[in-house]
Each structure stands twice: as structure tokens, then as C-alpha cells.
Amino acid sequence: MKELIVRALSGIIYVSLFLLSLNSQHALIALFFVFGLICIAEFNKLIQLKGVVSYIIFITLYLSFAYWQLVLDSNEGFIEAIQILHVLTIFVQLFLIKDLFSEKTLPLFITKGYINTTFYLSSAFIFIILIANYYDTFNPNILLGASILVWVNDSFAYLIGKNFGKQKLFARISPKKTVEGFLGGLFFACVGSYFIAKYTNTLDATNWLIMSIIISVFGTLGDLIESKYKRQANVKDSGVIMPGHGGLLDRLDSIIFAAPFIYLFLRILKYVS
């Protein structure tokens, strides 16, 4: 009972901080700057990467794009820089997906470690912020809707997998994840997308449905990739900052991995609309 209360309280604090930050672009950027630093610290521990280089890369990238967005009046070069970062990020993520299907360990040596902290983690936090600026002005409803779909997918994948799951999804990486759980999370995320479309003045129902599929698929892949890193490090959680939940990376792994693909879909919508 005590463990359940602790888990609930830490979850409430996390959700409250996120919801409060949605009232201000500056607050959202500040919160995810702190989240990013914590996640990099946890990830560095998983891959045994020491030193401050990965922190310097994150701080430089994140604050540069934040300054470009908040302070500079001109967007000259901004779109081009984002596009380059986007291509590199998705390229690295596709390699991480490929490595899920191989027996070899995910790269732990220094060069690949810096590549992953840059394009698996650091850039993801930039795209999370960009999702909230889809309309070229701060409007956090799409980010809020995407986050709700992540929570719906994760919750129902867990509940359905625990009660009805039989066929393992990736047994050697995450023995508790099942095909039934994945399909259950996907189904309820699709159902949830209808209500998000209805009650947020953002995308239409069809586009939110596509978003729910993107989030379910790539969020699950992100969870599996982090699970493979944890299995290699022989740890259960990425950290202890959220009592009852583990590390912050454990809570954000889905949205971190899905964010660049969500942003890609939003950019495609902008070009075709």
C-alpha cells in the first residue's frame, strides 16, 4: 500500500509539473531543459559514458534553438537547421530500430555514445518543444494530446498485456511485453484520438488517428530500445528520481523516441495542406 501511494504521489508531481509548464512557452522550455539534463545523466550511466561532453552538446543544441525561437526576430536559417537535425535524428533512430532485431548489443563505445546522446536524446527534446509550436506560435494542445496518447497507450498495453497477454513481443529484450498488450494499447490510443480531436481545436479526427498509430508504434519501439540498454547494463530502472516509477528516462522513453516522427508527420501535413 505504501509503495502504491509513493508511486501515485511521484506520478502526480510529474504530471502537475508538465501541465503547469503548458501555460507558458518559457516554462515548457525550462522544464524540458531540466528533464533533458536528467535523462542524459541516466542514459550516460546506462552506457557507461563519462565526462561532460554529452551535457555540453545538449546544452548548446537546446539553448541555441531556444534562443533562435524565443529571442531572434528572424527565422533565417532556422528551418534549414531543423531539417538537418531532423534527418540526422531519424537516421540514427532507424539504426537503433534495426539493432532491436539483431542479437548484437547496442553500441556502448564512446563515439557511438555521443552520437546517441545527441540524436537519440538531445535532439528529441528540441522536437518535443517544436511540436508545441506547430502553428508557428505557442499552442501546447498538440503536445498535450500526444502526451495523453502516450499515457493511454502505455497504460492499456500494460493492463491488457498483464491480464490477457500470451504471445511475447520481444521476449529477449522485455519479457513482460506481449503482442496482445501492444494491440490493446494501439486500439485504445486510436479510441482516445477521437476524443482529443473532438475536445482540442487542433487536428481533425483522421490526423489524430494517424498520430495515435505513430505514437503507439514508435513509442513502443522507444520503450524497447531503452529496455535493451537497461538489459545490457543489467539494471531494472534507468534511475531513482521518481520513486515507484524508476528514472525519468523510464517515463519519457516513448515520447522521446516518437517526437521526431510526430514532428515529421506534422511537417508533411503543413506541406500538403
What digits encode the pLDDT tens for the residues 83-136? 999 999 999 999 899 888 876 655 554 456 788 889 999 999 999 999 998 877
Query: Is residue 25 scored above 50 in pLDDT?
Result: yes
pLDDT at site 109: 46
Rounded alpha-carbon distances, angstroms, from residue 198 to 90, 193, 202: 30, 9, 9
- For the question of whether the overall pTM of this predicted structure is more than 0.95, the answer is no
CB neighbour list of residue 74: distance below 8 Å, 6 or more residues apart: none
CA 210, CA 136: separation in Å to the nearest integer? 22
Region 263-270 average pLDDT: 92
Rounded to an integer, the average pLDDT of 227-251 is 84
For the chain, give the percent of residues with pLDDT over 90.
Answer: 55
Burial class (CB in 10 A: 0-12, 13-18, 19+), 158: middle
At residue 217, the pLDDT reads 96
Residue 226 is predicted with a pLDDT of 92
Task: Label residue 73 by pLDDT band (50, 70, 90).
Answer: low
Compute the distance between CA of residue 91 and CA of residue 83 in angstroms, rounded to an integer: 12
Which pLDDT band, with edges at 50, 70 and 90, does 75 fall under?
Answer: low
Query: Residue 201, exposed/middle/buried by CB under 10 A (0-12, 13-18, 19+)?
Result: exposed
Q: What angle do CA 244, 245, 246 make, to 5 degrees?
A: 105
Residue (of 177, 153, 269, 155) closest to 227 by Cα position: 177
Predicted pLDDT of residue 3? 63
Query: pLDDT of 54-72, one tens digit each?
Result: 999 999 999 988 887 776 6
For the stretch 192-201, contacts whose Cβ atoms lie closer than 8 Å and that sit 24 or more positions apart, written own/partner, are 192/148, 192/149, 192/152, 193/149, 196/145, 196/148, 196/149, 200/141, 200/142, 200/144, 200/145, 201/141
Beta-ladder partners of 174: 170
Residue positions counted in the chain: 273
Q: What are phi and psi of 160, to 5 degrees?
A: -75, -40
What's the pLDDT band for 50 if we cut at 50, 70, 90? confident
Quote the pLDDT of residue 256.
Answer: 96
In 215-227, which positions are buried (b, 16+ CB within 10 angstroms) versus exposed (e)? bbbbbbbbbbbbb
Digit-coded pLDDT (tens) for 175-202: 888 999 999 999 999 999 999 999 888 8
Residues 150, 186: Cα–Cα separation, whole Å = 10
Whether the Cβ atoms of residue 101 and residue 165 lie closer than 8 Å to each other? no
- Are residues 85 and 124 in contact, defined by beta-carbon separation less than 8 angstroms? no
In one-letter notation, the amino acid at residue 267 is R
